[in-house]
Structure 1
């Protein structure tokens, strides 16, 4: 079968590899339909390996070369003898976290916090950028008829933003700032609206992406820190001129985090969604003086899939609006990774059509 495998920095190859073996007792083989290119995949391509193990992963044994792709769905073609949650022919979305069920966090249902955590497409032999994938039964959720194959591949990144909105306590009537208008930032705007936010600000230095955001959600208030005093502009437009209730940092940049701390009201909440490469300085005085919460938001809970799929499929969180291009697997480097790295920022979410 064809698969896109990461070998080294800027070395992703579409290769012919063996199809997955017959599934084990609690495993499932799926024929992949669509797979999204994530910002994490992009970081691996541009500067990796970062998360992809060069030595065997201590829990899964996976190592380079790695089949990429953790935002995907497909159709079940084979199941192990003990699998009960899906059947052959089911259309599924993949929840890509692989971890022990019996360690400290696993016994508490907090699988995403396990120290042995691996991610399909980053630390598991199989991934979504291939014709087939072998996964565990707990990694697949059957999709209802009102969720399309494309939407099934968007559940994973959308779950990141739904969880972040929950971490921030976004509720009906909230005012929200999102920093970063990339795919996660755009989905975060939609997740904030789905949670009930009535006033949403989006900050980014790329005017193309800000224009895309306004096309997706016309009443989003866009700001460019190259020419706008973002925090001042937000205070000018919020109730009482105090700032937003919740600020969600979706860049992974020190300046963006500082903007969130500045723009949030006293006793507001800042949620760190983007992953920082370095160790940013944090204005501890302002955190204390404004009596704010600064919270991390790591992935999502593994049981969110039905809820997030329903939000997407019912149109309450139209994640498909962030898709700007669909490509074939053979195009994944030139029209996928390289297109997403282009400085103009004219692409958001690119889906690979594997059908």
Structure 2
């Protein structure tokens, strides 16, 4: 079968690989339908390996070359003898987190996403979504309702990241929320904040195209370009009492965006760090103390979020499909997908790979 594999930075290859064999007792084989190209995949392509192991992963044993893709769904083609919640023919979305289920402090408390041995399908596992088929564990498979489309199934994973960031911030009805970074996660965070009841939404980004896409995807959002506006002043001017927003969610992984959030959030507000920073970044900790703010990390998502996020998408409260700007075939995924998203002047947001038309 065809698969897109990461070999090294700048080295992605469409290759013929062996298809999955028979599933183990607690495993499932899926014919992949759509896979999203994530910012994490772009980081691997640009300067990886980051998460892809170069020596056998201590839990899964996987190592590069790695089939990429952790945002995907498809149709079950085979199940192991112990699998009871899914059967051949079921349409599914993949919850890609992998970790020990026992003997792990966090996993035994239901905090699977915090396991120190955590890895993902598509980053540290024998299979990934950017192939015609994948072998996954039973707990990675979530059956989806008939009313959810195949495209939407591939969008549950990034939407779960956004929903968790709003949960970490405690977004509630009537809140004002700033999202820094108008990429796919940032726009989904705006949608999730609105679904949680936020009534004032702001987004900042230096990319005018992405700001325009955010305005189209989330009507009523106030878009601010830091190269043209003082974001903190603009938000204070627009909020009750001129104090700033209640919650700032950083989705860019950029030190300037984090500082913008600290400036824009009101006293006793909350900053949620969702974007992955490439290294240490300075923050004015006097302001953190003086403003009495909470700074909270938001790592991935609890694995039990899948049904909840699927309902939010299915209901239209989070119209996640609005972030998709392009669909490509597997053969064209590097040039028309990865390279298009790496272009700083590009006009793409989320690109899906159509695996059904991989040949």
Tell me the residue number matched to 2:95. 95
Contact preservation (8 Å) 1:83, 1:137: yes
Distance 2:119 2:219 in 1: 38
- 1:266-345 alignment to 2 at 5 Å? 266-345=267-346
Shift of 1:345: 3.2
Tell me the residue number matched to 2:57. 57
Distance 2:56 2:283 in 1: 35
Distance 1:214 1:201 in 2: 10
Distance 2:232 2:182 in 1: 17
Shift of 1:218: 2.0
**SS of residue in 2 equivalent to 1:93:** strand
Deviations 1:17-42 (A, max 9, x none): 00011100000000000000000000
Shift of 1:314: 1.2
Tell me the residue number matched to 2:135. 134
Tell me the residue number matched to 2:48. 48
Distance 1:244 1:74 in 2: 40
Unaligned runs of 5+ in 2: none
Tell me the residue number matched to 2:30. 30
Tell me the residue number matched to 2:121. 120
Distance 1:253 1:211 in 2: 20
Contact preservation (8 Å) 1:29, 1:77: yes
Contact preservation (8 Å) 2:6, 2:64: yes
Distance 1:212 1:277 in 2: 26
Any runs of at least 4 consecutive aligned residues in structure 1 with deviations exceeding 3 A, and if so which?
Answer: none
Contact preservation (8 Å) 1:146, 1:314: no
Deviations 1:88-122 (A, max 9, x none): 11100000000011111111010100011111100
**SS of residue in 2 equivalent to 1:162:** helix
Shift of 1:73: 0.2
Unaligned runs of 5+ in 1: none
Shift of 1:186: 1.0
Tell me the residue number matched to 2:105. 104
**SS of residue in 1 equivalent to 2:303:** coil
**What is the TM-score when the length of structure 1 is the normalising length?**
0.99
Distance 2:133 2:63 in 1: 18
Distance 1:192 1:252 in 2: 19
Tell me the residue number matched to 1:259. 260
Contact preservation (8 Å) 1:75, 1:92: yes
Contact preservation (8 Å) 1:209, 1:345: no
Contact preservation (8 Å) 1:66, 1:125: yes
For these two proteins, the number of residue pairs brought into alignment is 355
